[in-house]
Structure 1
């Protein structure tokens, strides 16, 4: 089935069309998603268009927790401070730092706590976002650095807020009891269209029933934590994102998967339309990420909802000293029907690296047993 008519004359769509041709006429969705989001200078996260903000009027497409209120980063900083002290490290690493709002909040709060890190290193491939981050972080210019990749050995506290959800996924579709991988082709009119191919791939958890079913698998997110495990010798990692444990992710009633697009603070389910002009994302299978981390040598040292994590980190104490607007925004971080329950926090550390300390954010309400 084809999307709304769209010319392949734009540079990004021409790249996609070229990739389809090179792949023999059928491109796996994960490769399409990588082009749509990250193709240098053209993909959604690589172009100059604004992404993060509160309202469609500011040209943004969606809002993240640090954009809502600095209370988010200030609470997270308490966990970072504890982790730095407990692991004897002095560097913070952030993946996909967005506008730089979270980095500024964490650095501001760590300075107040008397635990400013020696370095705050951002891993971000987007040149346009790096420039925005530099402007946001001018007050911490001497402490913040940017890199394109991880070093061979990593000591420090790693942060990833809404990073895993933006990693390309593969789409699996069960139709008539048979499994297919969903990919992208050009139809007879030269428009992007869906096409399915038989596959041996399966979801990690069997989906009961014979009804049609669409879902995602996450090899890139799992590869990311394996790389992290290979490099992180001392420290801890905190990954915050929206998603579910495996049993919920592959529930038989979740028949249409979780893939979704964001543009102008509205959502749609048409990733083949407006390519490069909107975000494409999928929820995180936290069980898969946790298992990949464990297999690669990391321990899971905590897993809970974002709401519980922030409460454990003293969010209410911070809110007591904040203004009314910040308190209103705080409710969005905590409420179950907003970010509080849908968003989760997963904490990882090198095997044996958290033997002598319990991470603050998981001191109550830990759900590791539910992964």
Structure 2
């Protein structure tokens, strides 16, 4: 009898093999990553396996800030409240809401601030995660809605916590001074294997040196931002994720790239194994996100570290009302050697009507470093 893991991995592997064959024996990595993460019913984010949680004993693979402590969502809600007033809107949109923990924290914190949101819309492709979100947000069912995609037009404050890093990336590999696009092929035995093809694609910055070098480019994340620019008539977007500005992202010493997998709270660098059972992710090039946004008509309202952003939003004041455990978890959000420095926050808004400064960037704004 097949195990639960085999029942996911085997059919997903068959689907990937089929896609490789249809593509002539070589599949670009971004298409492979899309299958591994989002193939209906089989991909990592499309199946029912546990994903989010503080400990591996519960079957989870990683923890995000809202699961660490509600102080994260409470601080972010202060920024949301200011943005709703500044943009004259009354709706929040969240992409990739995970367990629904962040939505719950923001909805309840906004109510406590005397600014209840009229409508909270979650855009999420995962049916299993939607069910978990419905359970988490049952007390607010009258104001929470779900969507599969962006509407043609929208207004409000957009949130995306650890969304950009899960968007498929293309891999580039410089070998012997020649750039290749890295994809996936099959061995004679039917196993998945890396395969490189010469390409005209390049990183957005020239990488100094002649040493071998592997990195990522992010056309899908940048396309997402352009789509957001096209649809968001009024409001603002706050995107939180781990990543770097372009000069750091394509530093000559970052020769192995940023692609990484997460399973059972451990990381590895082999996305070709255990299909459907682990997360595949890459760090965000925030300069690329900012440029795509500006080219599409959005203004960058601010960019800074997560630690600085949360402190600007009053995290320490909120922590005074929290217990010792919450305060211990709060340290992980802001400490430089934890999430405080690796994670960044970027704020975007339609160019018209952006004459306001979000509180999250009142001090320590790094927009000039993008």
Q: TM-score range by the shorter chain?
A: over 0.9
Report how far residue 8 of structure 1 moved: 11
Residue 348 of structure 1 aligns to a residue whose secondary structure is strand
Following superposition, the deviation at residue 9 of structure 1 comes to 7.8
Write out aligned runs for 1:244-259 (5 A). 244-259=244-259
Deviations 1:9-49 (A, max 9, x none): 81111110010001000000000000000000000000000
Match status 1:333 vs 2:337: no
Q: Distance in 2 between matches of 1:370 and 1:358?
A: 18
Q: Distance in 1 between the 2:317 and 2:21 partners?
A: 57
Q: Which residue of 2 aligns with 1:370?
A: 369
Q: Which residue of 2 aligns with 1:86?
A: 86
Quote the Cα distance in structure 2 between the aligned partners of 1:115 and 1:273: 47
Structure 1 pair 9–352 and aligned structure 2 pair: CA distance change class (3 A):
closer
Residue 352 of structure 1 and its aligned partner are, at CA, apart by 3.0
Find the aligned partners of 2:85 and 2:8 in 1 and give their Cα distance: 53
8 Å contact from structure 1 (residues 8, 191) kept in 2:
no
Q: Which runs of 5+ in 2 are unaligned?
A: 1-5
Contact 1:237 1:347 in 2 (8 A): yes
Distance 1:38 1:288 in 2: 24
Matches within 5 A, 1:148-159: 148-159=148-159
Q: 2:313: which partner in 1?
A: 313
Equivalence for 1:118: 118
Contact 1:306–1:341 (Cα < 8 Å) also in 2: yes
For 1:88 and 1:27, the matched residues in 2 are separated by 46
Structure 1 residue 325: Cα displacement: 0.1
Which residue is equivalent to 2:275? 275
- C-alpha distance in 2 between matches for 1:9 and 1:207: 37
- CA 1:20–1:349: 2 relative to 1, 3 Å: same
Aligned partners of 2:8 and 2:42 also within 8 Å: no
Which SS does the other structure have where 1:316 is aligned?
Answer: helix
After TM superposition, where is structure 1 displaced by more than 6 Å over at least 4 residues in a row?
Answer: 6-9
Asked if the contact 2:8/2:276 (under 8 Å) is kept, the reply is no
Contact residue 183 and residue 195 of structure 1 kept, 8 A: yes
Corresponding residue for residue 290 of structure 2: 290
CA 1:157–1:75 in 2, change beyond 3 Å: closer, same or farther?
A: same
Q: Distance in 2 between matches of 1:247 and 1:7?
A: 43
Residues in 1 aligned to 2:56 and 2:147: alpha-carbon distance in whole angstroms: 31
Q: For residue 340 of structure 1, give the secondary structure of its aligned residue in structure 2.
A: coil
Instruction: Supply the distance in 2 between the matched residues of 1:193 and 1:162 (Cα, whole angstroms).
Output: 28
Query: Partner residue of 1:44?
Result: 44
Written as runs of structure 1 = structure 2, the 5 A alignment for 1:210-289 is 210-289=210-289
Q: Which residue of 2 aligns with 1:3?
A: none
Inter-partner Cα distance in structure 1 for 2:272 and 2:181: 16
Q: Show the 5 A alignment for 1:190-229.
A: 190-229=190-229
Q: CA deviation at 1:353?
A: 2.7
RMSD over aligned Cα atoms: 1.1
Partners of 1:64 and 1:352 lie apart in 2 by 33
Cα distance, 1:74 vs. partner?
A: 0.2
Counterpart check, 1:108 vs 2:119: no
Q: 1:7 to 1:68 in 2, by over 3 A?
A: closer
Q: 1:115 to 1:9 in 2, by over 3 A?
A: closer
Q: Normalising by the residue count of structure 2, what TM-score does the alignment of the two structures yield?
A: 0.98
Q: CA deviation at 1:299?
A: 0.2
Is the partner of 1:189 in helix, strand or coil? Answer: coil
Tell me the secondary structure at the aligned position of residue 341 of structure 1.
Answer: coil
